[in-house]
A and B are shown apart, each in its own frame.
Chain A
Amino acid sequence: GAVVSQHPSWVICKSGTSVKIECRSLDFQATTMFWYRQFPKQSLMLMATSNEGSKATYEQGVEKDKFLINHASLTLSTLTVTSAHPEDSSFYICSASGTSGRSTDTQYFGPGTRLTVL
């Protein structure tokens, strides 16, 4: 149990385009989802926290108009990188927490999405 998937696993896009990344909790209801980005050889940096049906809470320094987050259901959250530029190239990882049957509110991570902006 407690499986989180992400789609796509990798994406290459041209500068100026928008990219949508999906995060799904497959076997539990995720009341809260978190979005992270990770640069090579660095730790995970929290971008935003989203609760189902509410607006996301963004970390300081993260542009909410550039990184649009939608958490419309208890099993799906999306991150849209709008007008992507090369500096947005990174590894984006989501995590989900909720009642999974084994433990409550433990964060389980997705496999990540590698974004490369040309």
Chain B
Amino acid sequence: DVKVTQSSRYLVKRTGEKVFLECVQDMDHENMFWYRQDPGLGLRLIYFSYDVKMKEKGDIPEGYSVSREKKERFSLILESASTNQTSMYLCASSDRLGGDTQYFGPGTRLTVL
């Protein structure tokens, strides 16, 4: 089974803090994705990566950056957290040979005070 893990289930940070959300997958997937999910807005793509050290902006990259130093690990960084970044953050991975099926981690509920 594909396993995608995220570093925290719940996180509370203060405005202006630098926040790191980490995601690890154990299936050697090339593609990794970061989404945020908000009520009424659905899943929105923040950043994605096709390979180590590669990154592409998604639909809402403002205020975020990412890092992918190793194939299995994809980190989302909030350089200076703001209250409007309070959300559920979901990481996913997929395989180029897997027909674009994405597998999700458990999610991190981030609250910025």
Partners in one complex: no
Chain B residues in the interface with A (C-beta under 8 A)? none
Q: Which residues of A contact B (CB under 8 A)?
A: none
